[in-house]
Amino acid sequence: MEFSAQQIAELLSGEVEGDSQITVNQLAKIEEGKTGSICFLSNEAYAKYIYDNDASIIILNTGFKLEQAVKPSCTLIRVEDARLAFTKLIETYHQYTKKEPEISPNAFIDSSATIGENCSISAGVVIEANVKIGDNCVIHGGCQVLHGGQIGNNCILQSGVVIGSDGFGFAPNSENDYQKIIHLGNVIIEDNVEIGANTTIDRATLGSTIIRKGVKLDNLIQIAHNVEIGENTVIASQTGIAGSTKVGKNCMIGGQVGIIGHLTIANGVKIAAQSGIGQNIENEGEIIQGSPAFGIGEYKRSYVMFRKLPKLKQTIDRLENELNTLKEKI
C-alpha cells in the first residue's frame, strides 16, 4: 500500500518541501532509509544521516535548520513534533495492515469467562473461571489470566503475562517453618493499560491488586499482592514492587527499581533506574535516585564527592605522613 507525501502531510498537519506526489510503501529508521521508505528525525544527534539518505520522504521538526541540501530524490515534511507525527503515522499504518480480531481455537477460555467485543486472543492463552475482559483487547500467546481477574477496554497483554498468580505470602509458625497464606483476592486492570512480556501481577490477599487506567508496564516487571498503580504511570523493565504499596498517578519509574512493601508514593514522582525505595515519597513531582534513594539534586552532589574519594584518600595519606614527620622532628 502506497501513500503520497501530500496524503501524509495532510494526515500529520505538515508542510511538504519537494515533490508532493512522491510515494512510499514502508517505514524505516533514519540511518536505514532507502527508496520507497519514509523516515523521521527528532534527535539532532542523528542529523548527519539525512544528507546522504536514500529515503523518499523524511519527516522533520519545523524549526530544524538544514546545514546542506538533502538529495534531490528526497522530499521533506515539516511538522511541529516529528516523533509524535511518526508515531501517528505508525498507528495509521498499523490500522491498515492489522488482522481482524480473532480468538484462536488453541486458546483455553473457561465457559464462565466473559470476553468483550473485537478482542484478539492468541494461541496458548489461558483464561480461567469468572474472568471478565472488556472490548478491543489484545492478548498475545502464552498469557494467563487466572480466576476472577478483570481487564478493562483497549488493553494489551504481551506474550507470557501472568495476571492473578498467588502472592508471595508466608507466615512463620511455631515449628520454625513457613505457613502459606492463601490469597483470595483478584487483579483489576482498568482501561487502556499495556503490560509487557513476562510481567507478573499477583492477586490480592483480600480485595484487589489494581492497575489504574492508562498505565504502561514494560517487560519483566513484578507487581506484588494488593499493590495499586495510579493512572498513567509508566514503569520500565525489571522493576519490582512489594506488597501493598500504593504508587500515585503520572509517575515515571526507571528500570531495575526496587520498592519495598506498604509504602505510598505521591503523584508525579520520577524514580531513576536502579534506585532502591525504602520509605514513603510524600512530595508530588519529586525526582529521586540512589539506593537508598533520595532527592536527585542531593544525590548528584553526593556522587561528585564519592568520585573524589580516591583523591581525597591520597590527600589524607599525604597529610598523615607529613604530620608524622613533623612529630618525629619535634
Known catalytic residues are 225
Asked whether the beta carbons of 30 and 48 are under 8 A apart, the reply is: no
Q: DSSP 3-state assignment of 237?
A: coil
User: CA torsion sign, 271 to 212 to 264 to 180?
Assistant: negative
Query: Could you tell me which of 39, 82, 89, 40 has the C-alpha nearest to residue 62?
Result: 82
Grid coordinates of 244: 501493598
Cβ atoms < 10 Å from Cβ of 325:
10
β 150-151/26-27 pair status: unpaired
Rounded Cα distance between 301 and 307, Å, is: 10
52 alpha-carbon distance from chain centroid: 33
Q: What's phi and psi for 298, nearest 5 deg?
A: -65, -40
In one-letter notation, the amino acid at residue 276 is G
β 132-133/114-115 pair status: parallel
User: CA torsion sign, 16 to 18 to 20 to 26?
Assistant: negative
Asked whether the beta carbons of 161 and 146 are under 8 A apart, the reply is: no
